Chains A and B, each alone.
Chain A
């Protein structure tokens, strides 16, 4: 199958995933009802209200989070030439998790969580980048070490906040956020996160030729006129913006950023132009389907999305990795 055909199939599957995500849930609607509700957004019937105020924003957020995390993971892996890199490597999630844990413990209104998560994850990444600076550039090794070290520090502090929290309900709220969930977010959150992710994606697009040249190794890429320092900064900032946008509306959802780049490279190859084009819809599909399952498998209980993805994703990933060792 040609690469263009793979992307076309991915886009068709994305449409199918959106329909599945909109139809399935605690209350199921027939496809005809869904189509009618889609065509009449202001109708005052159950289907229109559920669809337009609950499911569609949630499906849209899932699509955004999946696409953003997959893209961020792909960018960081291609920049560092390491397929085991996760977009949370730079401490993005750990910083946000600590900030949210503190916010919950101090009774900050939930409406502010997205903004807090966004600021904290961005601040953490900038701190990691500052610790990794060498003259005008960024040291990849230092960045990995600083990211892992700060993540451990923040994870320890988050646990401390949970243990010292004033009540069990506060601890549970923090744990629920850490588990990753798309519940309780609406169109407004989506607007901000989309804007932020779009800026990150726009920045990332400017680095595609440089990332492709980096497949030849850093020295050869530099000889071909790639400004390595500039490319590193742009990719780190854009991956951080994408990840922060996702973390702000979903909490910590692991694995998508690690797994989806592997899947798309297996399908369209390592050319960043194609793998990025495929990562966007594939990331969205994975998260829409996972979220639909998380909220409709055991009603009325919702399985935390981050945990569900780990449970389903790890075996799938190990299977893929063992089947295709050369693409790893």
Chain B
């Protein structure tokens, strides 16, 4: 369970988000949406304990994240950020094995047999078992995203936070990652993801946090967050909401073309 209260997040004197409060239960999948630069990734980093809030507090199962040492934090929160730094000279298995780092004392350099079993299971779930000895540079974007998921799985943290898990992925690979995250939530993991696609967020998340205008505009089930006025104000563009066959869908209203009927 993650409990964030009255957060103000800033870079230096530049305040990105203020008055953000949210409580996430075990087994919940929350999607953070909002326009570019609204502070989605900053909020995710803060919830993951990697960005200290200017004001407010974040607690995981009752313990303040600011009171945790880095290793303890990594045992409770697995954070996967968008990192464009190239990772080379590492096999898939070597990368995933790093997920056991928070569980090892500094003087133990090798994985124990139980660590190996956890790594094998993580590779299996991320469908990477047959590619475990491949170098990371030889993988496609989709496979690389799965490596980071496997790394987080090997971390065995009760909360998983993932920034843009479906970026650069085709529909099939995106669906695979999202259903894996859904399964994890159903098994009791608290999952927080940042998404750009509103409809994907509505289809997979239990709740949606909409950030914009330097604050948390809404944090509720998709049906309540998907209000035309609310979304249009957040994105600064006209957005239409339709409810069809049990799904809530949002679209940007296309601009009028010359010759369109009035």
Contact = CB atoms under 8 A, between A and B. Distances in A.
Contacts of A269: 89
A273 interface: yes
27 contacts: A209-B101, A209-B104, A213-B101, A215-B90, A216-B151, A217-B83, A217-B85, A219-B50, A219-B81, A219-B85, A220-B80, A220-B98, A220-B148, A220-B151, A222-B50, A223-B48, A223-B50, A224-B74, A224-B98, A225-B69, A225-B74, A225-B102, A226-B70, A265-B89, A271-B94, A273-B110, A327-B89
Contact of A220 (B71, B72, B81, B88): B81
Contact of A216 (B98, B102, B106): B98
Nearest to A230: B70
Nearest to B77: A223
A36 interface: no
Contacts of A219: 50, 81, 83, 85
A217 B89 CA distance: 12
Contacts, number: 69
Contact of B87 (A216, A223, A265, A326): A216
Contacts of A208: 109
Contacts of A215: 87, 89-90
B106 A206 contact: yes
B104 A223 contact: no
Chain B interface size range: 20 to 34
Contacts of A226: 70, 101
Interface in A180-231: 206, 208-209, 212-213, 215-220, 222-227
B90 A224 contact: no
Interface string B91-114: 000110011011010110110000
Contacts of B101: 209, 213, 224-226
Contacts of A142: none
Nearest to A272: B109
A222 B107 CA distance: 18
Contact of B90 (A216, A218, A327): A216
A259 B236 CA distance: 56
Given A213-B101, A216-B95, A223 B81 contact: yes
Interface in A28-63: none
A102 B249 CA distance: 77
Interface string A1-17: 00000000000000000
Nearest to A271: B94
B80 A223 contact: yes
A198 to B, nearest CB: 17
A287 to B, nearest CB: 26
Contacts of B50: 219, 222-223
Interface in B104-141: 104, 106-107, 109-110
Contact of B73 (A225, A265, A327): A225
Interface in B54-94: 69-75, 78-81, 83, 85, 87-90, 94
Interface centre among B81, B89, B98 (most CB of A within 10 A): B98
A270 B89 contact: yes
B98 A273 contact: no
Contacts of A327: 89
Interface centre among A209, A227, A273 (most CB of B within 10 A): A209
5 closest Cβ contacts across the A-B interface? A225-B74, A225-B71, A217-B85, A225-B102, A270-B89
Nearest to A223: B79
Nearest to A270: B89
B240 to A, nearest CB: 37
Interface in A298-328: 326-327
Contacts of B104: 209
Interface centre among A206, A218, A219, A271 (most CB of B within 10 A): A219
B190 interface: no
B159 interface: no
B155 interface: yes
Contacts of A209: 101, 104, 106, 109
A225 B75 CA distance: 8
Given A223-B74, A273-B110, A326-B88, 9 more contacts: A216-B98, A219-B85, A220-B81, A223-B78, A223-B79, A224-B102, A225-B71, A269-B89, A327-B89
A270 B88 CA distance: 10
Nearest to B108: A209
A26 B75 CA distance: 61
Contacts of A225: 69-75, 101-102
A273 B104 CA distance: 15
A103 B190 CA distance: 65
Contacts of A217: 83, 85, 87
A18 B81 CA distance: 50
Contacts of B109: 208-209, 273
A69 to B, nearest CB: 23
A226 B73 CA distance: 10
A227 B106 CA distance: 12
B138 to A, nearest CB: 11
A163 B39 CA distance: 60
B119 to A, nearest CB: 14
